Amino acid sequence: MDLIRINNVKKQYKNGVTAINNLNLSIKKGDFVFIIGGSGSGKSTLIKMLYREEKPTLGEIIVGGVNVAKLRNRKVYVLRRKLGIVFQDYRLLPKQNVYENVAFALEIIGAKKEEIRRKTLKAIEMVGLKSKIHNYPDQLSGGEQQRVAIARAIVNNPKLLICDEPTGNLDPERSKEIMDILEAINKEMGTTIIMATHDKDIVNRMKKRVVALKDGRLVKDVEKGGYCSEAI
């Protein structure tokens, strides 16, 4: 079953730049997909349209049966609750410790205290940070901060985890730890993962589906692929 369908999507920004052009793409439930391409190829624009940070100029974006292009602004929160999002720059709350940063995602949806505790501890365990639960972000390495951000993104068991250059600020060793965690989430929780990256080594090693963009167009879509020259 398709979790995501992108039909004839075009995105033109107000300044006239066409960031995505005539894009068609289906992503099945449980898939792990890399979105690759050089700087300016449209990766971030595509990802932002999935969580409705941007709207397409033309076409449909169906996420879990809902056309998010048509979603009313006041309904966007319903979509966001079904997604986890991880950014390159972690975006943790600096004055909250690891536990509080992760629990926050459940508190804002009004979960019960016991449920918050159980799910928060499980998510923190999933990213291997139980021993740092009381640390504040400035007492963690970059890799550990990104692991907290991943725990926060998965704490409510979303169907879809969207990652925009999650290893962009990390060295190869820390990046590998992040990728091992994402792979475990995909396998053990069945979470569909879409990750924009231009890290060649990661893409080549993981052997997942690779969707390559160039100038806003799809130039390659392969199962178990590697980084391809078309996209560089």
What order of strands is seen across the sheet that includes strand 58-63? 18-28, 2-12, 58-63, 66-67
- E-strand stretches of 29-159: 32-36, 58-63, 66-67, 83-86
Is the Cβ of residue 17 or residue 222 nearer to ligand ADP in the bound state?
Answer: 17
Is the Cβ of residue 122 or residue 217 nearer to ligand ADP in the bound state?
Answer: 217
> What's CA 88's distance to the chain center, in Å?
10
Residue from 6, 9, 19, 149 touching ligand ADP (CB under 6 A): that is 19
Q: Which stretch binds ligand ADP (CB under 6 A): 13-21, 109-117, 124-132, 218-226?
A: 13-21
Q: Which stretch binds ligand ADP (CB under 6 A): 9-17, 75-83, 89-97, 133-141?
A: 9-17
Q: Residue 17, interface with ligand ADP (CB under 6 A)? A: yes
Three-state SS at 27: strand
HSE toward the beta carbon, residue 92, CA cutoff 13 A:
29
Do residues 184 and 161 lie in contact, with contact meaning Cβ atoms separated by under 8 Å?
Answer: no
Is the Cβ of residue 19 or residue 148 nearer to ligand ADP in the bound state?
Answer: 19
Residue from 25, 34, 41, 182 touching ligand ADP (CB under 6 A): that is 41
Binding residues for ligand ADP, rule: CB under 6 A, are 13, 15, 17, 19, 37, 39-45
